[in-house]
Amino acid sequence: MAIACAAVDDVTAWCLLAVVVFLVSASNTALPFWLTLIGTLMYIGVLLFVVRRYARYFVDLYRRRGAITQDILGLVLILMLISGWITESLGIHALFGAFLFGAILPRDRDFVKAFIAKLEDLTVVLLLPLFFAFTGLRTNIGLLGDGSLWIMCAAIILVAILGKLGGATLASRAFGMSWREAGAIGMLMNTRGLVELVALNIGLDIGVLSPTAFTMMVLMALVTTFMTTPLLNRIYPAAMRRSAQAEVYSAPADSSATPIRTET
């Protein structure tokens, strides 16, 4: 449930971020606003209705060969880079072009698992640490030298926790979850991870965030992420989670009713 909610949340955040980047970048690019807008819409249409149809070729090629070979991997990465270059040329951040190309790739389960396995080692061992190091180098704690700035940073963290943790908890409770389960959903949704840092870096690049605001938001992302595990274990201990899972899996299957578990 938490992963599904986070996926919807991330997609919504990407859409909002794309609008902000488009509005800011369109005013700074040499292209007229109308040309950037029409070009972006046309490119999205080409991806959805033309490229997406032919992207099935990757799955067919994977099934014939039984693995993600070097030419399949190279072709996908080249097309991803081209997509990023196109959106960058239109005045939108290159990251959105890469994201759009990834979104239109086939969702064949075996193909996706094999492709992730092919890229995972390089991503986790090299690219991810480089990104975190890059973000850390751009974070300047010394900018928060004034006491009022630390108060503002604390206010940002408080609002972020109330908005995400509180909002997700109340929404989960309103839809019938127990307070314990609703609190667990709120704790997990309150976690800011990689997507948040990517959004912050883009905001700094396009000038929406100042270096001081960027530092505050990075600290907020770190605090809300680090607090998740200890608070989750306190409100919903691992032994209780295992017991709840055992109840669900041991319940008799009944296709005519939705299983509901009550909790004291």
Q: For residue 109, give the amino acid letter.
A: R
Buried b (16+ CB within 10 A) or exposed e, 190-206: bbbeebbbbbbbbbbee
Q: Using the 8-state DSSP alphabet, how is residue 126 labeled?
A: I
Answer for the pair 80, 98: CB distance below 8 angstroms, yes or no: yes
Q: Is 207 helix (H, G, I), strand (E, B) or coil?
A: coil
Measured CA to CA, the distance from residue 31 to residue 51 in angstroms comes to: 25
pLDDT digits (tens, 9 = 90+) for 24-77: 776 666 667 778 888 889 999 999 999 999 999 999 999 999 899 999 999 999
Better pLDDT: 255 or 127: 127
Q: Quick one: tokens of 52?
A: 């997406």
DSSP 101-136: HHHHS---HHHHHHHHHHHHHHIIIIIHHHHHHHHH
Question: What is the token pair recorded at 106?
Answer: 């086939």
Please say if the pLDDT value at position 232 is more than 80.
yes
Report the pLDDT value the prediction gives residue 93, as an integer from 0 to 100.
80
**To which H or E segment does residue 184 belong?**
helix 179-189
Identity of the residue numbered 35: L
Cα separation values, 218 from 83, 93, 196, Å = 28, 20, 9
Segment 199-215, tens digit of pLDDT:
899 889 888 899 999 99
Alpha-carbon distance of 118 to 111, in angstroms, equals 11
Which value, to the nearest 10 degrees, does the dihedral of the CA atoms of residues 37, 55, 13, 225 take? Answer: -150
**Average pLDDT, rounded, for the chain:** 86
Q: Is the distance from CB of 208 to CB of 155 less than 8 angstroms?
A: no
User: pLDDT tens digits for 104-140?
Assistant: 999 899 999 999 999 988 898 999 899 999 999 999 9
| 3 closest CA partner among 173, 183, 185, 248 | 185
